[in-house]
Structure 1
Amino acid sequence: MENPLLLFPQLNISASKDKPYYKVMKPEIKEEPNKASKPGVSPEEAVKWGESFDKLLSEKAGLDAFTKFLKTEFSEENIEFWIACEDYKKSKSAHDLLTKAKTIFETFIQKDAPKEVNLDFHTKEVTSQSMGQPLRSTFDAAQSTVYRLMEQDSYPRFLRSAAYRGLLQGRPAARAPLRRRSRSFTVNDFQGVRPDLTVW
């Protein structure tokens, strides 16, 4: 269970120049252990997520489930960008707008950004031009593009995924494989426990 958490610092090291980016990531990392202790999502709740992409994203449990799914496809930058834009629009001052806009642009939009999202040239240009004096609407076009991408591409795959089908049947699909995997790790660890402990 700790192994995925160990991967995050390695990813962040590659983007160490973007310190504010850690703040975007930290809440998601911290929430992982809490979710395991909460009761699972009800099948009724999961059914609603299938009604529309908007309904899925409007509920915290749905957003979390979809984010986990995107991580399995290595495309979580899309939902992270969408979340960052939602947060950006709640900025209370011009200073906040400027600071967050710079972070979002450097993390998700500029060429070779650590979490670069797939935007067409025109949208990228429009967004770049408004970076001098960012407004609440600065990322609207880019956010809409990424939203449509997820809605048309990732969302249908999420609805067909084993994880989502498991939630519809009232079983926490993500937990069962994790338990099985940790048992196999335990067997392997017993065979070579000393080298592993020296790492810790």
Structure 2
Amino acid sequence: MKTSLVLLSQLNMCESKERTFFKLIHGPGREEATKEAKTRAKEKRSRLSLLMQKAEFHEEPHSLRSGLLARESRVSREEAVKWGESFDKLLSHRDGLDAFTRFLKTEFSEENIEFWKACEDFKKSKEPQQLKLKAKEIYEKFIQNDAPQEVNLDFHTKEVITRSITQPTLQSFDAAENRVYQLMEQDSYTRFLKSDIYLELIEGKPRRPTNLRRRSRSFTYNEFQDVKSDVAIWL
């Protein structure tokens, strides 16, 4: 009887050790795999959330669109027609400059008008220190390679500006400004006169609903499919 009890006790101990060993071998692996799967699912949800936020950011909210239409309505048709007479008349009018800037944003080329406005402001500088500060800001924002809003300039023009940036004058950016001005006048301005933004002003009514900057949504579908495959993990 004692022998049977001893054997049964040893058998139970062996079985317990086997379960412990099995848990040591397989438990962490499963736990690690689960953690990794949860991490992947969390990353996918984060990407999906970010893409959705970008999509919402690029959409033109209804309230913003309403505000733009209200502002546009204050511009008389006669004034808007004058903008079509010359590019200079468009830029010399505050509402015309604003309308053209919004048009360039729809084409993702607003750096050109922003550079032109910065140059016009630069030429109003009166103190040498102010001149140097603004010149440095313009150079870093629009001129240097990989600038945040780098404008399209030829190598020679950029070199001249680079050499003179430490001792700038009121004429330091004239050549670059003229080049960008001509580019907008010959290219962007002609498209602006055919755009809905301008035609709505001279016709006095919206032509069709705008769908500006909605392209980000097209990237969310596949991401959402990936996230759905792991839904059992993170729900």
User: What is the TM-score when the length of structure 2 is the normalising length?
Assistant: 0.59
Q: Deviations over 1:125-161 (max 9, x none)?
A: 1111110100000000000000000000100000011
- The 1-side partners of 2:144 and 2:89 are apart by 30
* Counterpart for residue 49 of structure 1: 83
* Counterpart for residue 153 of structure 2: 119
1:91 aligns with 2:125: yes
Q: Residue 93 of structure 2 is aligned with which of 54, 59, 68?
A: 59
* Counterpart for residue 194 of structure 2: 160
1:142 aligns with 2:176: yes
- The 2-side partners of 1:85 and 1:177 are apart by 35
Q: Spell out structure 1 runs of 4+ moving beyond 4 A.
A: 32-39
How many equivalent pairs are there? Answer: 151
* Counterpart for residue 80 of structure 1: 114
Contact 1:91/1:97 (8 A) holds in 2: yes
RCO (CA 8 Å, sep 6+): is it higher in 1 or 2?
2
- The 2-side partners of 1:170 and 1:100 are apart by 40
- The 1-side partners of 2:118 and 2:110 are apart by 12
- The 2-side partners of 1:7 and 1:136 are apart by 38
Aligned alpha-carbon RMSD (Å): 2.5
Does the C-alpha gap of structure 1 residues 167 and 37 become closer, same or farther in structure 2, counting only changes over 3 Å?
Answer: closer
Does the C-alpha gap of structure 1 residues 34 and 135 become closer, same or farther in structure 2, counting only changes over 3 Å?
Answer: farther
* Counterpart for residue 170 of structure 1: 204
Structure 2: which 5+ runs fail to align?
1-52, 59-64, 211-235
* Counterpart for residue 38 of structure 2: none
Larger radius of gyration: 2
Percent sequence identity over matched residues?
61
* Counterpart for residue 102 of structure 2: 68
Does the C-alpha gap of structure 1 residues 45 and 128 become closer, same or farther in structure 2, counting only changes over 3 Å?
Answer: same
- The 2-side partners of 1:132 and 1:33 are apart by 46
User: What is the TM-score when the length of structure 1 is the normalising length?
Assistant: 0.69
The structural deviation recorded for 1:35 is 6.1
- The 1-side partners of 2:68 and 2:198 are apart by 16
Contact 1:42/1:170 (8 A) holds in 2: no
Partner letter of residue 82 of structure 1? W
Structure 1: which 5+ runs fail to align?
9-31, 179-200
Partner letter of residue 152 of structure 1? Q
- The 2-side partners of 1:90 and 1:140 are apart by 13
- The 1-side partners of 2:138 and 2:69 are apart by 30
105-114 vs 32-41, greater mean Cα deviation: 32-41
